[in-house]
Each structure stands twice: as C-alpha cells, then as structure tokens.
Structure 1
Amino acid sequence: MEDEEAFRAAVRAQAAAMLNDDASPYDPALEIWGLAMREWPGDDGDEACYSLHLIWGALTDWVEFRPAEADQAEMHMITAAREWMSVEGDREAEARYFDRWVHDILEYERPAPIQS
C-alpha cells in the first residue's frame, strides 16, 4: 500500500470494523496503528498517517499498560473511530479531530509556536 487513498481506505475499514463488531475494538485499533507505522504516506503532505499513529498508538498502549482501564480505553477507541468516520476526507475537520485527540484528549504536548 503506497498511496494515500489505499491507506485511508484501509484505515476506514478498520474503523468501520470497530463500529460494526461486537468484539473488542483493540485488534482493529492495533491494525490502524500498524498501518500508520508501516505505510507512512505522510511524505505527500497527508497529516493523517502521523496523527493516526499517535492516536491509535496511545489508545492501544493504554490497554496494554493499564489493563484495569481497558474498558475505558476501548470506549475511547470506539469514539475515536466514530468521529474519524464522520470527518475523514474533510481536511479542515480532520485537523480539528487531530488537534483534539492528540492534544486535548491524549495530552501530547503542543509544539511551541515558531518565532520569526
């Protein structure tokens, strides 16, 4: 998978699986993280790969490193998948989604403003 559309279609399929399956969302979440790690189409200016890597890596790590909180992490996975399905393809909405999930929800530090 070397192009943006194939990457996004694969992510969409995994997000849909989380929403359409009664099984744990962990495995599809791990797949999204893996897709973002392996494919890295971010070179073409698509921020999705980098940001999805951060989001899904943090959510799957949450399950792995704090198993007592797995239910809470999995609820976040389902919410993240549902929200992604509603914004994917609208670059401005995606940017807001990434900012909210990466910085507000998962609490990655925002980069310092670039000073000229």
Structure 2
Amino acid sequence: MEDLEAFRAAVRAHAAAMLNGNASPYDAALEIWGLACRAWPGDDGDEACYSLQLVWGALTDWVELRSAETDQAEMHMITAAREWLTIEGDREAEARYFDRWVYGVLGYERPAPPRT
C-alpha cells in the first residue's frame, strides 16, 4: 500500500471493527497483519509498517500455532487494538507501544546494540 494515510486509516478501521464486534479479533488481526505486509518495504520511514507486521503476525500466529490458547491470544488482540487506537498518530507513543508489544509482551529478542 503506497499511501501511508490510507494504510493507517485501514488499520484503524480493522482495529475499530474488532472492538465494536463487527469482526472477530482473529479476522481483524489477520487483516491488519496483511496490510502491514503489503505496506513493507514501501513504508517511507513509517515504523508502523514494520512493527505492526511483527505485532499482528505474532498474535495471529499464537492462534494458529496454539489453538488451545485462542481466548488468551484474542484478549491480547483486543488490548493491542484498543491501545493502538488510543495512541496512533503520536509517533513517540507509537514507539513506546511497539517497544512494549514487540519485546515485552510478544517476546521478540531485542537487537544487539550497535558496535562502537
């Protein structure tokens, strides 16, 4: 997706659909992940394209790989969507959101600090 505003609007729409019951958490999460995959690498420096791919990919994988934990994964999806809608557009808040979700909640390994 070349237009980042259209990308962000679509992400907001899927997150809202999840929260208002118009889409299942998994289905909306899969749509967000798909949008982020199509936006990358033509992201124009917007971290959301890459980081949303990590967040929503891990959350959808959780359902697909550990189906017995679907309820728990979907609760995380709802929380992630609610938080995203609260902070989206504030780049500093987004950076904190991604740091917490990618490394704290979902357990990705932090990259090694650059060598000096």
- Summarize the alignment of residues 91-106 of structure 1 with structure 2, pairs less than 5 Å apart: 91-106=91-106
Does the CA-based 8 Å contact 1:3-1:41 persist in structure 2?
A: no
1:67-109: CA deviation from partner (whole Å, max 9, x where unpaired): 0000000000000000000110000000000000000000000
Count of aligned residue pairs for this structure pair: 116
TM-score, normalised to structure 2, is 0.95
Task: Name the residue aligned to 2:24.
Answer: 24
CA RMSD after TM alignment: 1.3
1:10-49: CA deviation from partner (whole Å, max 9, x where unpaired): 0000000110016521000000000011122654110001
Q: 1:103 to 1:115 in 2, by over 3 A?
A: same
Q: Once the two structures are aligned, what percentage of the paired residues are identical?
A: 81
Task: Name the residue aligned to 1:107.
Answer: 107
45-54 vs 18-27, which moves further: 18-27
Task: Name the residue aligned to 1:89.
Answer: 89
Structure 1: which 5+ residue stretches go unaligned?
none
Does the CA-based 8 Å contact 1:15-1:82 persist in structure 2?
A: yes
Does the CA-based 8 Å contact 1:4-1:41 persist in structure 2?
A: no
Structure 2: which 5+ residue stretches go unaligned?
none
2:115 partner amino acid: Q
